[in-house]
Amino acid sequence: MLHITKKIRKSNVQSDSVTKTVECNPSDQTIGRAIPQSIDFGNPAVYELLSSTAKAYPKNECVYYNGTKMTYGEVDEASSRFASALASIGVQKGDRVAIFLPNIPQFVISYFGILKAGATVVPCSIMYKGRELEHQLSDSGANFIVASKDVVKEKSRKDGKKSKSYNDLYKPVDECRKNLDITVVTTSVTSYLPGLKRKLSRLGGIRKVERQGTFDFSRLIKLNKPIEQLPDVKSRDDVAVLQYTGGTTGVSKGAMLTHYNLYSNAAYVSISFPMAKEDVSLCILPLYHIYGMTATMNSALYAGAKIVLLPKLHLKELMKTIQDQKVTAFCAVPAIYGLINDNPESRKYDLRSVRVCMSGGMELDATIRDKFVSLTGAKLVEGYGLSEASPVTHSNPLDGRAVKEGSVGIPITDTEARIVDPDDPTKVLASGEIGELAIKGPQVMKGYWNMEEETKRVLRDGWLLTGDLAKVDNAGYFYIVSRKKDMINVGGLKVYPREVESVLFENNAVKDVAVVSMPDKFSGEVVKAFVVLKENNTNVTEKEIIEYCTERLAKYKVPKSVEFVDVLPKSMIGKVLRRELRNGA
């Protein structure tokens, strides 16, 4: 049973309150009709999001993937078998196990299997190249990884013409194995397809390649019985996920998210929508990203809803899936909503099943929101979060209260927020003043993995300093104004200039470089590089620089444009004046 505390507010955001405690069952669909302001979940493990629902509704549909249906009982059993399999190949409690997969059933099974084995999940972006993946595996100390063994044909456009290329999904792992001692479990994106689709997948450009010295995922599931003894979890101390983020500076670091961090945030999102076991959640956001993990997978499992997995963004497939699966809820970035709006075929599909949506990652333009609402009839609200907070901290309410233009809304259940002086976080600013947004709540991370000083810098007396500049109005609605650092926001994905610059500095033709953000209609922002070439390399082209980055960085980090300059503007102490570069571009 959950212990819910309803707080009756006397005044504004920081007001005192009186409390009343009531009890309710997590499967009771009355939860969320009047959103409680405080909930004590006890001592939950994240794997209970799946296992508890499986006990209550074992035959209810849990996962849908391209024609394949899996019940809660089936997914729960598969994850328990995988937990046993991990133990059989040497995984022990406290080990870190990486997942390097797109949105396929094996991600869900691996995620909960790792947790049931008592280990920590390290989700890795499938867009990573070898050097990026190697850093994350090395820093986390992950000695095990679950990865795809496929080579996939991809279509793209170059110079206005269609072209085809092959993407070896295993290549980054193979590159890491040259320098790291790591045990690999491989699987295929076709393994859980229905029989006919699995046979036709080769015609569609997917080739399964057997990788030497690896364990086969399906064989491990088949050979191992479900784990009998689930690990004891200290919910508020034990780390469930190491979520890598640039944080508030450019150094990649692992946010230690505990079982309570993730369980509570999933429950709050589920309750706020509210979601029920009859709902259908669309997983178009990547599950390796904390936004997708919490808002589309874990929150749906808490409610007992069905999750629909889409491994890639193909717009027609997205809209057809919404229509055919009668999707009722999904979370995305503004660009996805905009793509649906602007597609000339969007009105050919029945998208009216969609009931509630959340937008995050970047500011939601009112025009995009209004057009999407007109098209679907759904409620679409903007929210806010960050990896260090599991991630959701704010949302415009969906319970009939006001939705404010340009606002990320109000703090969610059990969450406090305030605006502080950027130079003195102990000084709380008044309504309307711009300062740094600080967050306090059960979703705030334990700290950064092996980075004690960086943890102390952002965690102050339980308050998380987000690095974002914001303001709050008299009604308690928050507005993000700017970013404290020079982070570039590409469609909700974080890019830090220093990382891109370090790659460019490795190019023998480059003498000096600075990377900045530039506005973009589709992604909000894109990366632009200002490059000073060495004197004997002045014939280097923009195309060559971009191709150099493409081989070494995830696609969203690659500069969309390169401008060659004779010198970079710098301050008296040698700091690049990025604002001048942006303003002059």
CATH number (domain holding residue 569): 3.30.300.30
- 238 shares its domain with 347: yes
Distance, in Å, from the CA atom of 243 to the CA atom of 372, rounded to the nearest integer, reads 31
Supply the DSSP symbol for 557.
G
Residue 115 phi/psi, 5-degree rounding, is -65, -40
| Residue 435 within a domain | no
Establish if 456 belongs to a structural domain: no
Report pLDDT for 246: 59
CATH number reported for the structural domain that contains residue 57 in this entry: 3.40.50.12780
DSSP string over 383-426: EEE-GGGSSEEEE--SSSS---TT--BEE-TT-EEEEEETTEEE
Give the model's pLDDT for residue 538: 83
Instruction: Give the tens place of pLDDT for each residue, 329-367.
Output: 999 999 899 999 999 999 999 999 999 999 998 888 889
Q: Is residue 332 part of a domain?
A: yes
pLDDT at 508: 94
The C-alpha angle with vertex 277 and arms to 295 and 6, in degrees rounded to 5, equals 70
DSSP-assigned beta bridge partners for residue 331: 358
Can you give the length of the chain in residues? 585
Q: Which two tokens stand for residue 503?
A: 């790659």
Domain range enclosing 510:
488-584
- Final residue belonging to a domain, choices 370, 395, 420: 395
Of 82-96, 113-127, 287-301, 531-545, the least confident: 531-545
Residue 585 has pLDDT above 70, yes or no: no
The answer to whether position 418 is within a domain reads no
Other beta carbons within 10 angstroms of residue 473's beta carbon come to 13
Residue type, 539: N
Lowest model confidence (mean pLDDT) among 102-106, 113-117, 579-583: 579-583
With contact defined as beta carbons under 8 Å apart, do 123 and 97 qualify?
Answer: no
Q: Output the pLDDT for position 22.
A: 28
| Residue 356 forms part of a structural domain | yes
- The verdict on residue 214 lying in a domain is yes
Let me know whether 51 and 183 are in one domain: yes
On the 0-12 / 13-18 / 19+ scale of CB atoms within 10 A, 575 is: exposed
Pick the last residue of a domain from 395, 420, 455: 395
CB 483, CB 468: distance < 8 Å = yes
Using pLDDT thresholds of 50, 70 and 90, give the confidence band for residue 580.
confident
Confidence of residue 9 (pLDDT cuts 50, 70, 90): very low
**pLDDT recorded at residue 407:** 95
pLDDT at 282 over 50: yes
379 and 500, same domain (yes or no): no
The verdict on 116 and 264 lying in the same domain is yes
Question: To the nearest whole number, what is the mean pLDDT of the chain?
Answer: 89
Q: Which helix (H) or strand (E) holds 358?
A: strand 356-359
Asked if residue 124 is part of any domain, the answer here is yes
Average pLDDT over residues 452-461: 96
Residue 24 binned pLDDT confidence (cut-offs 50, 70, 90): very low
Token reading at 504: 């460019």
DSSP class of 275: -
Q: Provide the whole-model pTM.
A: 0.86
Residue 368 shares a structural domain with residue 510: no
Tens digits of residue pLDDT in 169-188: 999 999 999 999 999 999 99
Residue 487 DSSP SS3: coil
351 and 500 housed in the same domain:
no
Give the Cα separation of 383 and 443 in Å (integer). Answer: 15
Q: What share of the chain is helix, strand, coil (3-state, %, to 5)?
A: 30, 30, 40
Domain's final residue, options 377, 395, 413:
395
Q: Give the confidence band of 402 by pLDDT, cuts at 50, 70, 90.
A: confident
Q: Does residue 75 surpass a pLDDT of 50?
A: yes
Chain centre distance of CA 568: 35
The average pLDDT across 462-488 equals 89
Q: Do 40 and 186 have their domain in common?
A: yes
pLDDT in tens, 506-535: 999 999 999 999 999 888 999 999 999 998
Do 15 and 148 fall within a single domain? yes
pLDDT bracket for residue 2 (50, 70, 90): very low
- When divided into structural domains, the chain yields a total of 2
Q: What percent of the chain has pLDDT over 70?
A: 89
Q: Would residue 467 count as lying in a domain?
A: no
Q: Above 60 in pLDDT, residue 13?
A: no
